[in-house]
Amino acid sequence: MSDLRGYTYAVDGGYDIHLQEAGEGPAVVFLHGSGPGASGASNFRQNWGAFVQAGYRVILPDLIGYGASSKPEGIDYTLQLFTDSVHEALRAHGIESAALVGNSLGGGIALQIALDDPAFVTSLVLMAPGCIEEQAAYFQMPGIARMVSGFGSPDFSVEEQKRLVSNLVHPSFVASIPDSLVADRYAVARTQPKDVLARMRTPNLGPRLGEVKQPMLVLWGLQDEFCPERGTRLFLDAGCDVRTMTFNNVGHWVQVERAEEFNRHAIGFLDG
C-alpha cells in the first residue's frame, strides 16, 4: 500500500492547513469530524488504503484546529472558517474537483463546500453528517453530554482520551478500539486549545439540502448518540439524489465500526 505524503499550505488569515495524500486517480477528499485529537489520518486509518487500492487519489486534510494544522486561540471556529480554509488548501494542492467523504462535522463541511462551489464537488459520501439541525439540538444528544472532560487542561490524560473515543462507538465495539488510535488522538489533543470545541459555531444547513444536486450516499449508525439518525429523513424529504444506509448496533463512527462494509459500499458508489 502507498505511503502517505505530507504537505502544508498557508491560507487566508495566516493559518497553515496540513494534508496528506496517497494514490493516483480521481481525487477523494476525506473530511474528519470534531472532538479532541481528531485528524484526517487517524479518523480514516481503516479506510484510505482501500480507496487507494481501488484506484483513487486520497487526500486527508487536517481541519483548522486539528491534526498538524494551525490551532488558533481566541477565535470562533465557524463552519465557514473550516470550509474556506480547507477548500483553499485543496485548491493550492491542485485539486480542481473531487468526491468528498465526510463524517460528523466533516459531513457538514462537505455540504457547505458543495453549496459554495458546486463545480468542485463530483459526489458526496456522508457518515452521520452534522450541521443539518440547529446546534442546540446536537448539544441535547447524550453522547455530546458525556464529552465533558478535562480536555485542554494539564490534567487531560490518555485514559480520558480513551473514554472520549469509546463514547463515539457502540458499546459492543469499545473493546476493538486500538490503543494506537487512542495514542494518535491523545498526541493531537494535547496541542489543541479549548476554543476548538467551546467556540465552535455551526449553522443549520437542513433547509438547504435540496440545493445540493450531486449524488450522495448517506450512512448512519442507528445508535448514534451524537448526530441523530433521524437526519437521514431530511435528505429524503429534501428530494436529494441520495441513497441512505442505516447500520444497527453502530454508533457515530460507521467508517470505523463497520470499516470493511463502509469501504465496499462507498467505493462501489464512487465507481458508479
- Please report the sign of the dihedral spanned by the C-alpha atoms of residue 214, residue 45, residue 139, residue 191: negative
Is-contact 11 72, C-beta < 8 A? no
Number of Cβ within 10 Å of residue 152's Cβ equals 17
Q: Which residue has the cell 471556529?
A: 77
List, in order, residues 6 or more apart from 111 with CB less than 8 Å away: 102, 124, 126, 129, 131, 132, 205, 208, 209, 212
Question: What residue ranges define each of the domains in the chain, with the CATH number in brackets?
Answer: 5-271 (3.40.50.1820)
Dump pLDDT digits (tens) for 211-267. Answer: 999 999 999 999 999 999 999 999 999 999 999 999 999 999 999 999 999 999 999
Q: Which of 18, 87, 170, 252 is catalytic?
A: 252
The structure's pTM equals 0.96
Say what the pLDDT of residue 1 is. Answer: 53
Say what the pLDDT of residue 155 is. Answer: 78
Question: For residues 109 and 83, what is the distance between their CA atoms, to the nearest angstrom?
Answer: 5
Pairing of strands 27-31, 15-22: unpaired
Say what the pLDDT of residue 36 is. Answer: 92
Q: What is the DSSP string of 116-165?
A: H-GGGEEEEEEES--SSS-HHHHHTSHHHHTT-S-TTSTT--HHHHHHHH
Say what the pLDDT of residue 148 is. Answer: 65
Could you read off the pLDDT tens digit of each residue along the chain, which spans 272 residues? 579 999 999 999 999 999 999 999 999 999 999 999 999 999 999 999 999 999 999 999 999 999 999 999 999 999 999 999 999 999 999 999 999 999 999 999 999 999 999 999 999 999 999 999 999 999 889 888 777 666 777 778 999 999 999 999 999 999 999 999 999 999 999 999 999 999 999 999 999 999 999 999 999 999 999 999 999 999 999 999 999 999 999 999 999 999 999 999 999 999 98
Is-contact 143 168, C-beta < 8 A? yes
Whether residue 18 lies in the annotated active site: no
- Reduced to 3 states (helix: H, G, I; strand: E, B; else coil), residue 19 is strand
